[in-house]
Amino acid sequence: MLALGTLLTVLLLQYDSSGATDPTYLVAVTSQAVSGTTETLCAHIHESSTTLSLLVTLSSDSGNVTILKEKSIKRDYYKCVPFQVPVVLVDTVATVYVKIEGASTSLNKTTRILIKPPMKLILIQTDKPIYKPGETVKFRIVSLDSNFLTHNQTDPRSNRIGQWLNQNTRNGILDLFHSMTSQAAEGNYVITAWDENNQQTTHYFEIKGYVLPKFEVNANLPPVVTPMNKEFILKICAQYTYGKGVQGSVAAEVCGMNHNYYWSHQATPKTCRNYVIKTDKTGCASQVLNVTEYRMRQGGYFQINYNVEENGTAITVEGSAGVSYSSDVITVSFVDAANIYKPGIAYEGKVFSKGKMTQNGRVSVNVQFRTENKGILTFTLKNIKALSPFAQVVVYTVLPNGETVADSWNFPIEQCLPNEVSLNFSSSTALPKDTATLNLRAQPGSLCSVRSIDQSVLLLKPEAELNAAFVFGMLPVQMLGDYPYPVWEYNEDPCIPRDMDPNNTPIVARGIFPRYYNNLNDAYSAFKAIGVKIATNSDVKEPVYCYEYTRNMENMITNKQEGRSSGSVTLTKTVPDTITKWATDAFCTSSVGFGVAPSTALTAFQPFFISLTLPYSIIRGEQLLLKATVFNYLSKCIMVKVTLENSDQFSALPCNGCNYTQCICAEESKTFEWTVTAAVLGEVNVTVRAETVRTQERCGNETVTVPEGRRIDTVVQTFLVEKGFKKLIVEPSCFDQQCLYGNRVNTNVSLKLPEVVVKDSEKSFVTVLGDLISHALKNIADLLRMPYGCGEQNMLNFAPNIYILQYLKSSGQLTPEILARAKTYLETGYQTQLKYKHDDGSYSAFGNSDPSGHTWLTAYVMKIFGGAKKYVFVDEKTIDLAKDWLGQQQQKNGCFKTVGILHHNEMMGGVSDDATLTAYIVAALLELGVNKTDPMVEQGLVCLREPSTNLSNMYFTALASYTFTLAGDQRMRRTLLSNLNNRVRREGDGRYWTQNSVQMTGSLQVEMSSYVLLALLSGPTLPSFNLEYSASIVRWLAKRQNAYGGFSSSQDTVVALQALAKYSAVTYSPTGTVVVNVTSPSNQKYNFTVNQTNRLLYQERQLQPPTGNFTLAARGQGCVFVQFALHYNVLPSANSSAFRIITNATSTCRRQYYTATLAFTVRYNGPREETNMVIINVKLLSGFVLEYLSLQTLEQDSRIKLVEQNEGHVILYLDGMKKEEEKSFQLTLWQSVVVKNLKPAVVTVFDYYKTSEGAVKQYTSPCVN
């Protein structure tokens, strides 16, 4: 909807034509038109003495179009005609040609206009402006044309994390959502939408780990303070989102600030005063300020910083405000003053519009010749609503002497959208959990989108209100104020020198320069001011004189809800169980256009309610001081009985002398307490009920009332009871694979405990699987039960899903439920991994906090992203950038050099040489689908052939055998596998590989054996390497699998699961049933059946007794996998030989809500010169949280790569530690909930990739409970 132009002509009917030669003409058209639309051109020719012809054409790249053609014009002529604007795809300049011919007349004139392609108005709205990591972002995209008739998302570092292609709207509305990972980087995210013409619209939202504010604070100040004010009142008010005042205290600092100018020798420092004020029942606190105390000067200002602390909770909200100090007591300004005034011609009024000519007309006025004519000219603007937001009007007349007199004005029109939408709740207030009715009215058949947001969210992150002004603000042109740059007109008329003799000869030699034309006081400027182009021979410009200077002649320098047919709908929703205000808005689309409802609100509120304060968790044996606060916002006093419901999960003691039936008067609150001791472990539910009771007692001098409606409020909340710190050991004591062919197999399994364990902590389980992959599938989110805070560890949540999906899809076992679950993990893993991406496309363990990317991790991420893009969106650009970066690290001999820091020194099998790294990268490229003829692959294989003749490095040999298998080099494959077979190790009926020359961890043995298995299964079967050979490797690998389906580290888990998935695909059989019987030492029997309908089912039973000799029997046809696992706890040792921890906790020990400082030092005493990545896990004392400033200090500590907070734990990631190195840290903890009989908490430190090296140290609260 471009700016509309209204062109009105005032024609003088009597004129003096004496001396006239050529007729005076004027042709007017908009300076900016929209492709494919209909525009209007107006032509005006004064009476001619001869017959004239008129031809107006439009010339553009699309060809010539005749707009107006008249063969015989014999008298005064005025006509406006519509014409079709040519279709263009880009901004195009077109020329309007005006040609007038007669017997002795030949007039030609041109003017240029800009034709723009049509623009769509794309509106993006999210369900709220700010989200926490892990939440789902819901958003709607609305596509409109400029008459209001009826996608990609990036993270803070411009990584594309979601994409939707070729989406169709419904009535112009598209609904989409995107789930953010819980590890999502905090910052501003952008949603970008493109239409079919590649027109782009963006919308921003924020990801932040926030806590919703309970209340908002505002300062009420005078607009200005003057010397006449000897004092003024500072009033600060705090209100809950449901409108009631906050009871608390205000701390305010008021400073008088004066500017010191360089010419002033008076240096007046700022003068500050501090005040502490209590709020009244309305939540407001007032203070009279004495202005003279602040020694203010002209131009100064008052700066007020304040905070409000809520009584009982110590929750604080800060704010600031200011007011200027000025000697100006009254300011007068003129509004809407005219820019153009023609002496002797009166005008009056204001007129307004948008860029497209929608109305034109001609008004006849009788005038007296040679006499000054005065009067009022009246005309009517039609279809006012369509002219919104501005009507731009130009009125002109041509005088007898050929001069054109004109005036233009912009009239604001009420901003009305074509679809009138209204929205209101049947009642502006409702009780939480009650039913609310929302009435929505719009054009019949409309599709409407309704949104409600907790007002607390808008306090935290205000957003622009969606209203008519916002929508009109999206218009590409609301009104024209000048000509567009491509068709901007420079002054073509020569300037007039000021000193001319009668023969037009300069008296002195002068430099004459055309002056920049910027006159606002002539007719030309009146047209230009509203963007109307004119082609005319009339005098429309005021003469312009030249800029001149005298010079020496010898020296010259050259320079969404569907509306019913009635147009109304009633929505009934349950009000969320939250006391707050719900800001609600709506927009609708229909055949008549777009509409927005004025925003409305529903206040969810009850006159009295109860609020509980609980910690996240406590330790068994601790006592929780449970506090329940009852608020009364009735206008009268009530008697409230508060009850804590009995439960088998805990015991509760009332506080000494406490009365649980009390008076609470208007705008007051009271807190009730119990001491709670948990009786069980795990989640504990607490239910507290507040009930108003009838009584004849009085509350002071007031009568007790009973509220209407709901008289009882019940709150149920949960906290967690933990054992205290005991280390859990899970031993996969036995793993048995049985493939039966109609026969029966019997075997014995023995489960034994070590000598020292926590009493009664032992448990044992037997698991029966019909598929090797089902074990990992069951625990895909927790294969290691360790933190996942860096770029390599995160891949464990990502990569296994790809191999599992590939296997299930190839075997026909992939169900929609499994696919949806796996896609969730893939999307989360993809988003999280982008946190560790460098700007050059490489990846490292901690992203940009590392000096550079790492070659191995970049190749790892590249190949996994390539596998994931078959199932979820992965931006191809991220893969290409990683490949390009790797190409830059390839040397002339084809080998890739190691770049960057790797925090796992034993990762990649101790890949300290370029050849092993090259084998990994080439394998990654081939897995990605890169052709063998690609230069990176070809040169990499050249690098690998020479080291392959020296087969002492067993890890390199295993990895290279897989690489050459993928490359199709059968000769090298046979050579390498034969060498591996000669050096294989046997363990029972299993095969595996190890390195003789170095101390090899079990993790690297798993990796090597898995690469050999992949080499065997990824190419043609070789003699001596049949499927039974592969099965023996699988049997050895399966016995190393932990109780969750993973192995010992993230990397061996990924490689092993890739190999096991490959093996499962090769050996999959769609038939067979196996029955498994397990008999305990007490002769208790456990029976399992595995068939094709449940082969992916994770079947697990707890064994009784947990230890002893068990009998396993299996019969039937097919393969089953049986695992026995023994769980038990051991008490942690204070320190190990590898690490040592020293802790010290101190505090000022206030009675309640005190802070404690925990200082601790970690020292590495292990046998190695340097550790891998080190994890420090600090368990917080029950009822305590980490202070925000302390968190910021940790995050800014250069020694710490990452800080995580998770369910009462603070986890620090360190690059590593050198031998005998010490590192000291300090945390400030704040008691948010009182817990008695506090138990010790622990600080744990361990090497992430060698967990046998670790230590644990307890610390206790320094304060007496």
Query: 117-164 pLDDT, tens per residue?
Result: 887 778 888 888 888 777 888 888 887 776 666 545 566 666 666 776
pLDDT at 699 over 60: yes
Residue 502 in this model has a pLDDT that exceeds 50: no
Inter-CA distances, 57 with 6, 85, 359, 631, Å: 22, 12, 21, 78
DSSP character for 796?
G
Highest mean pLDDT among 55-59, 335-339, 581-585, 912-916: 55-59
Edge to edge, the sheet with strand 130-131 lists 130-131, 200-207, 187-194, 152-154, 160-163
Q: What is the pLDDT of residues 596-652, one digit of tens each?
A: 888 888 888 777 888 888 888 888 889 998 989 888 888 889 999 999 999 999 999
Closest CA to 805 of 823, 788, 782: 823
For residues 43 and 77, is the Cβ–Cβ distance under 8 A? Answer: yes
- The confidence band for 315, taking pLDDT boundaries of 50, 70 and 90, is confident
pLDDT band at 561 (very low <50, low <70, confident <90, very high): low
272-286, 294-308, 1089-1103, 1128-1142: least confident range? 1128-1142
φ and ψ of 804, to 5 deg: -65, -45
Average pLDDT over residues 373-383: 75
> In this predicted structure, which of 18-32, 165-179, 381-395, 705-719 has the lowest mean pLDDT?
165-179
Among 235, 236, 296, smallest CA distance to 271 is for 296
**Residue 1246 burial class via C-beta count within 10 angstroms: exposed 0-12, middle 13-18, buried 19 and up:** buried
What pLDDT, on a 0 to 100 scale, did the predictor assign at position 516? 47
d(CA 751, CA 737): 18
How many CB atoms neighbour CB 344 within 10 A? 9
Cα 965 to Cα 977: distance, rounded to the nearest angstrom:
10
* Closest to 859 (Cα-Cα) out of 843, 870, 876: 843
| Mean pLDDT of all residues in 728-751 | 70
At residue 1012 the predicted structure's pLDDT band, cuts being 50, 70 and 90, is: very high
pLDDT over threshold 60, residue 592: yes
pLDDT at position 3 is 39
Contact in structure between 1125 and 751 (CB atoms under 8 Å): no
- Strands of the sheet containing 215-220, edge to edge, are 215-220, 231-240, 284-290
Question: Which secondary-structure segment (H or E) carries 143?
Answer: strand 136-144
Q: Distance of CA 263 to CAs 259, 266, 327, Å?
A: 11, 9, 20
Report the pLDDT value the prediction gives residue 1169, as an integer from 0 to 100.
Answer: 87
List pLDDT tens digits, range 1199-1244: 998 888 888 899 999 988 999 999 999 999 988 888 888 889 999 9
Mean pLDDT value across residues 359-388: 72
User: Given this model, what pLDDT does residue 510 score?
Assistant: 37
674 pLDDT band (50/70/90 cuts)? very high
Higher pLDDT, 499 or 1114: 1114
Q: Which one, of 785, 770, 700, lies nearest residue 1098 by Cα?
A: 770
Mean pLDDT of 461-476: 77
**C-alpha distances in Å from residue 3, one per residue of 7, 389, 416, 486, 991:** 13, 8, 15, 18, 80
Which band of pLDDT confidence, cut at 50, 70 and 90, is reported for residue 926?
Answer: very high
Reported as a pLDDT band with limits 50, 70 and 90, residue 912 is low
The model's pLDDT over 511-549, given as tens digits with 9 standing for 90+, comes to 444 444 455 578 888 898 888 989 988 888 877 666 544
- Residue pLDDT, tens place only, 1170-1186: 888 899 999 999 989 89
Peptide bond preceding 1105: is omega within 30 degrees of 0, i.e. cis?
yes
Structural domains for the chain: 4-117+344-414+482-536 (2.60.40.2550), 227-325 (2.60.40.1940), 422-473+562-604 (2.20.130.20), 608-721 (2.60.40.10), 727-1126 (1.50.10.20), 1132-1259 (2.60.40.690)
Q: Average model confidence (pLDDT) for the chain?
A: 81
User: Which of the residue ranges 264-268, 1047-1051, 1116-1120 has the most confident prediction, judged by mean pLDDT?
Assistant: 1116-1120
Within 8 A by CB and 6+ apart from 727, the residues are 1129, 1130, 1131, 1132, 1256
What pLDDT band is residue 1082 in, cutting at 50, 70 and 90? very high
DSSP string, 716-755: EEEEEEE--S-EEEEEEEEEEEEEEEEEEEEEEEEE---S
Give the residue among 730, 613, 689, 624 at the shortest CA–CA distance from 1046: 730
Across 60-69, average pLDDT: 91
CA atoms of 252 and 1161, how far apart (whole Å): 40
Q: Which residue has the tokens 């040792």?
A: 1133
Map residue 426 onto helix, strand or coil: coil
Phi, psi of 115 (to 5 degrees): -105, 125
What span, in angstroms and rounded, lies between the C-alpha atoms of 825 and 1077? 35
Poorest-pLDDT segment among 225-234, 562-571, 750-759: 562-571
pLDDT band at 968 (very low <50, low <70, confident <90, very high): very high
Mean pLDDT of 1062-1068: 86
How many CB atoms are located within 10 Å of the residue 139 CB? 19
Q: Is the Cβ–Cβ distance between 296 and 224 less than 8 Å? A: no
369 — pLDDT class (breaks 50, 70, 90)? low
Cis peptide before 389 (omega within 30 of 0): yes
The whole-number pLDDT of residue 453 equals 85
Q: How far is CA 5 from the centre of its chain?
A: 42
Mean pLDDT of 1070-1078: 89
The average pLDDT across 499-511 equals 44
Helices and strands, counts by H and E, the chain: 19, 69
Task: Identify the helix (H) or strand (E) that includes residue 163.
Answer: strand 160-163
Which residue(s) pair with 678 in the sheet? 650
